[in-house]
Amino acid sequence: MTDALFHAYASLCIWMSLGVVLYRILPDRVPRWIGRGLFWAGMPVEIFTLARHADFSRPIWLAPTATVCTLLLGLGIALGLLRLSQRWPQDWLGLQSGPRKGSFVLSSMLGNTGFVGLAIAASVLNPENLGLAAFFTVAHNATGLYGMGVLVAHHFGEREPGEGESSDRPWWTSLIAVLKVPSLWAFLLGASTQSVMFSEATEAALARSIWVVIPCGFLLMGMRLSQLKSWRSLVCGLVPAGIKVLLMPAIVALVTPFWDIVGEPRLALVLMAGTPTALTALVLAEEYNLDRELIASSIALSMIALIPLVPLWLTILS
């Protein structure tokens, strides 16, 4: 397991560093191309492959229930701290505006379960438990990134000058966006074709595709993190990063035994709950005019914190 974790970290560091370098010499539109390619093709193929070989004999409710609970946990902690900061004599969190508050909540709640979570899970979990991590990712994308995340961003977002109430998106457009997520359909297709026999060449290609998607995801992360122009939000970014990668997985690790969730399923849920702040939070910040620097700082800090925390969870829970 130590060797697997070392290879996972080495891949993460190498490809993210390469992304930082390439961003400075490639056209600005390249990260967007990579991101759209991963969203529409790379991640669906990865989810499809994991779902085809996943063990769904355990209760099917476990992953989506755990996902919603961790999202609500992050949301509750972030909103509680916002309320506490308003009663404090000084604004100790530095959250003076609505857009900054929205970024704080998104950074505390949304995790990078796709690129980082599944990459770590694929390195340290047995194949029969990867389905739990994959299902967690799909549920997180549907209910978190494109559900709660949109609602939070819309609530705290800053309107453009002259923008009135008529520009508000009706609730059903968010539902349509969820139904359009290709990873959701890839998961359903993969789970429903477990009994279908593919050729050996096809199975081998699907297995190898995972190790193409993961480096591309890390490459994209390096490109996006290289866009950081200021560290003014670093101090405030410490708090949501701590909530995301330390407090949330610690709470999950403490409460799961009460529901008889132990062993590798418990480890899988803890790892997925403790993933770094999601890159998609930056997309929501662009769309709804939130604070970009705070989210970018939380992404960077939570990625750094993940390096010592994953071995800690493996030591405690294995």
> Can you give the pTM of this predicted structure?
0.80
* Residue range(s) defining the domain that contains residue 150: 2-159+173-317
> Would you state the pLDDT for residue 162?
47
Residue 166 counted as domain residue: no
Burial class of residue 201 (count of CB atoms within 10 Å of its CB; 0-12, 13-18, 19+): exposed
Which tens digit of pLDDT belongs to each residue from 167-225? 455 556 656 766 777 877 888 898 899 889 899 999 999 988 878 888 888 888 788 77
For residue 138, what are the contacts with CB-CB under 8 A and spacing of at least 6?
47, 183, 184, 187
Q: ∠ CA(256), CA(250), CA(128), 5° rounding? A: 50
Residue 57 falls within a domain, yes or no? Answer: yes
Give the side-chain half-sphere CA count within 13 A for 126: 8
- Distance (Å, rounded) from C-alpha 240 to C-alpha 296? 11
Per the CB < 8 A criterion, the answer to whether 49 and 191 are in contact is no
Residue 276 domain-assigned?
yes
Q: How many domains does the chain have?
A: 1
pLDDT digits (tens, 9 = 90+) for 237-282: 899 999 999 999 999 999 999 988 999 999 999 999 999 998 888 7
pLDDT digits (tens, 9 = 90+) for 141-164: 878 887 788 888 888 876 554 444
pLDDT at 121: 86
- Asked, for residue 168, whether it belongs to a domain, the answer is no
Q: What is the CATH number of the domain that holds 70?
A: 1.20.1530.20
Which residues neighbour 246 within 8 Å (Cβ) at sequence distance 6 or greater?
274, 305, 309
pLDDT band, residue 166 (cuts 50/70/90): very low
